[in-house]
């Protein structure tokens, strides 16, 4: 999926994405000096955190806008523009890490992505990742679906949110041994008094491709009002995240 990112807004208002990523990084069990790829590194904040843990890390992302921010903020790190489902490396690495990226990759391309990761790793190399799992943002997408339908449009969730069983099978079919796998709820606080509206604007883009700007605003406001009773608590907005977290090893 090709998205044009507002890198500054993403960095300022959605910092929880990389803050939570620090927990995923703790699953990497490699010595200092090990080589690592941060796949879908975005603005590079987590890439920097991985470097500070002592790894020799390269950031990889398909977004020019996010990579510009990453390179500007962390000039001592190497960042490469590449598609996660179509990349190769000159030298294999000890680990591939990825946070909050794989739900952006269509189901049909997941196998290609897993094959690229497998090829990029040394034998016994570690593959550590987290992304949106089955049921992720179900309340948000269900409200959007209802409002789209009332406006005469069809709503299709523009993300891949697999069950843990489905994804573990794909990872194994790519040749990995799954060592750790968990699916968990993570009710996540959003920033600001318009947190949910901003979240929808930032992340839910393709369903609005054929909707004009005024109607888009109307749909979002109606969906947000519908969600107030479940996602607004003590003057704060939340998103109903569900995560898949895994660690796999190249056999
Ligand atoms: C996620 O991190 O789960 C996510 C973020 C934005 C849109 C969809 C999923």
Q: How far apart are CA 93 and CA 77, in angstroms?
A: 16
The reply to whether 186 falls in a domain is yes
pLDDT at position 109: 98
- The DSSP letter of residue 132 is E
The reply to whether 37 falls in a domain is yes
Q: How far apart are CA 138 and CA 231, in angstroms?
A: 12
Backbone angles phi, psi at 86, to 5 degrees: -155, 65
Task: Specify which residues 95 forms β-bridges with.
Answer: 36, 126
> Do 103 and 166 touch, CB atoms closer than 8 A?
no
Testing ligand 1's pocket by substitution, the residue of 1, 21, 132, 244 carrying the most ligand atoms inside 8 A of its CB is: 132
* Ligand 1 touching residue 100 (CB < 6 A): yes
Share of the chain above pLDDT 70, in %: 98
Residue 116 CB contacts under 8 Å (≥ 6 apart), including other chains: 84, 85, 86, 87, 88
What is the 195 CA–ligand 1 centroid distance (Å)? 14
Cβ neighbours of 129 (radius 10 Å): 24
Burial class (CB in 10 A: 0-12, 13-18, 19+), 63: buried
Atom 3, ligand 1: which residue's CA is nearest?
A: 132
* Ligand 1 touching residue 245 (CB < 6 A): no
Q: Mean pLDDT over residues 74-80, rounded?
A: 98
Atom 1, ligand 1: which residue's CA is nearest?
A: 132
The reply to whether 121 falls in a domain is yes
- Summarize pLDDT for 101-115 with one digit per residue, the tens: 999 999 999 999 999
The reply to whether 222 falls in a domain is no
Query: Can you tell me which atom of ligand 1 is nearest the CA of 132?
Result: 3
- Summarize pLDDT for 122-180 with one digit per residue, the tens: 999 999 999 999 999 999 999 999 999 999 999 999 999 999 999 999 999 999 999 99
| Alpha-carbon separation of residue 7 from 3, 39, 205, 207 (angstroms) | 11, 17, 15, 21
Q: How far apart are CA 187 and CA 167, in angstroms?
A: 22
Q: How far apart are CA 187 and CA 234, in angstroms?
A: 14
The reply to whether 203 falls in a domain is no
Residue 70 is part of which domain span?
A: 7-137+159-190+240-250
> Do 7 and 66 touch, CB atoms closer than 8 A?
yes
Confidence of residue 99 (pLDDT cuts 50, 70, 90): very high
* Ligand 1 touching residue 21 (CB < 6 A): no
The reply to whether 178 falls in a domain is yes
The reply to whether 195 falls in a domain is no
Query: Can you tell me which atom of ligand 1 is nearest the CA of 204?
Result: 7
* Ligand 1 touching residue 136 (CB < 6 A): yes
- Summarize pLDDT for 185-238 with one digit per residue, the tens: 999 999 999 999 999 999 999 999 999 999 999 999 999 999 999 999 999 999
Atom 2, ligand 1: which residue's CA is nearest?
A: 100
Share of the chain above pLDDT 90, in %: 90
- Summarize pLDDT for 30-73 with one digit per residue, the tens: 999 999 999 999 999 999 999 999 999 999 999 999 999 999 99
Query: Can you tell me which atom of ligand 1 is nearest the CA of 159?
Result: 8
Our count of domains for the chain comes to 1
Structure tokens at 248: 């796999």
CATH of the domain at 56: 3.40.50.150
* Ligand 1 touching residue 51 (CB < 6 A): no
The reply to whether 204 falls in a domain is no
pLDDT at position 2: 62
Q: What is the pTM of this model?
A: 0.94
């Amino acid at each position: 999926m090709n998205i044009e990112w507002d890198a500054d807004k993403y960095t300022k208002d959605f910092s929880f994405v990389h803050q939570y990523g620090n927990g995923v990084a703790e699953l990497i069990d490699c010595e200092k000096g090990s080589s690592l790829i941060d796949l879908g590194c975005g603005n590079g904040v987590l890439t920097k955190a991985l470097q500070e843990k002592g790894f020799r890390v390269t950031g990889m992302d398909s977004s020019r806008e996010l990579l510009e921010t990453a390179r500007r903020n962390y000039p001592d790190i190497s960042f490469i523009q590449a598609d996660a489902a179509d990349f190769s490396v000159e030298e294999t690495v000890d680990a591939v890490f990825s946070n909050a990226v794989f739900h952006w990759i269509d189901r049909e391309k997941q196998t290609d992505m897993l094959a690229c990761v497998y090829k990029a790793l040394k034998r016994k190399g570690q593959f550590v990742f987290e992304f949106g799992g089955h049921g992720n943002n179900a309340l948000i997408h269900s409200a959007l679906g209802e409002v789209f339908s009332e406006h005469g449009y069809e709503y299709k969730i523009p993300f891949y949110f697999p069950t843990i069983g489905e994804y573990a099978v794909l990872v194994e079919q790519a040749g990995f041994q799954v060592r750790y796998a968990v699916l968990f709820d993570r009710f996540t606080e959003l920033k600001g008094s318009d947190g949910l509206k901003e979240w929808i604007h930032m992340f839910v883009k393709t369903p609005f491709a054929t909707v004009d700007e005024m109607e888009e605003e109307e749909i979002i406001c109606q969906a947000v009002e519908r969600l107030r009773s479940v996602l607004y608590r003590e003057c704060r907005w939340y998103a109903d995240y569900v995560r898949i977290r895994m660690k796999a090893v190249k056999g």
